Structure 1
């Protein structure tokens, strides 16, 4: 019996050691993924900053080009209107299309645009739970209209 107790001790040590190795492996993998994502985020941020400066230089060039034939205030106003219209178009392109438009019927499970809805950034599945085609079945008592006096027949009434 003493021999079995010794083996049980070895089993515990083995399980603890395997758990420690698994923890270290997962920790190392998460560190590596975090480092890659941090590098990617830094590159996206740098790209956005450079694009902002490029857009400002383009707006300046457009304004100066218009100012050659127009008064300065008119060139600045035209440049602002062009940039505002471009911002409006880009905002509209970034918004998702509504799935159900007035007067347009889509097949169940298929959006109007003809493309599948994008998965959420987390990658965990659908962005919202699916809607069942029919409401869930309820008791006959729950299907009746609420009483006009708003008294719940299930609750005890207060006596005056």
Structure 2
């Protein structure tokens, strides 16, 4: 009988080792795919940055045909700044000072928290739970793990 228990323990250990190796291999494969995808996104972003710089240069040179160089550079900078501002506005879910649902939060703290996507405190229900008087705490169920158990 002791021999069977030893075999069972050995079998469980082998199964656990095979499961660990399988999970490790799967995670390694997923990590490799994610790393490749991240490198492709980074390369794409770098090329987009260079393309934007070339476009800004082309706009500046086109403006420089009829304007002084400094004015062409200034106009190109203003165009890029406006484009950045518009893109930033499009990326935000709501304007500062508004809650995600579109309701205005009170005061500056509300505006800061709306921009952060949260409220300063959890919402309060309009009425107490059924069967409890206002200002009292409802009793905990007997199977609540936080209730201390006293042994006699």
Normalised TM-score (structure 2): 0.67
Residue deviations 1:100-153 (CA, integer Å, cap 9, x gap): 2248xxxxxxxxxxxxxxxxxxxxxxxxxx96864654764469xxxxxxxxxx
Q: 1:41 to 1:13 in 2, by over 3 A?
A: same
Partner of 2:20: 23
Q: For residue 73 of structure 1, report the CA deviation from its aligned partner.
A: 1.1
Partner of 1:93: 90
Partner of 1:107: none
Q: 1:102 to 1:141 in 2, by over 3 A?
A: closer
Q: For residue 94 of structure 1, report the CA deviation from its aligned partner.
A: 1.1
Structure showing the higher helix proportion among its residues: 2
Relative contact order (C-alpha < 8 Å, sep 6+): which is higher?
A: 2
Q: For residue 16 of structure 1, report the CA deviation from its aligned partner.
A: 0.2
Normalised TM-score (structure 1): 0.64
1:61 paired to 2:58: yes
Q: For residue 10 of structure 1, report the CA deviation from its aligned partner.
A: 0.4
Unaligned 5+ runs, structure 2: 105-121, 138-152
Q: CA RMSD in A?
A: 2.7
Alignment of 1:1-160 (within 5 A): 4-97=1-94, 98-102=99-103, 134=126, 137=129, 140-141=134-135
Residue deviations 1:55-93 (CA, integer Å, cap 9, x gap): 001000000000001111111111011000000011111
Q: For residue 95 of structure 1, report the CA deviation from its aligned partner.
A: 1.2
Q: Count residues with an aligned counterpart.
A: 115
Q: 1:30 to 1:131 in 2, by over 3 A?
A: farther
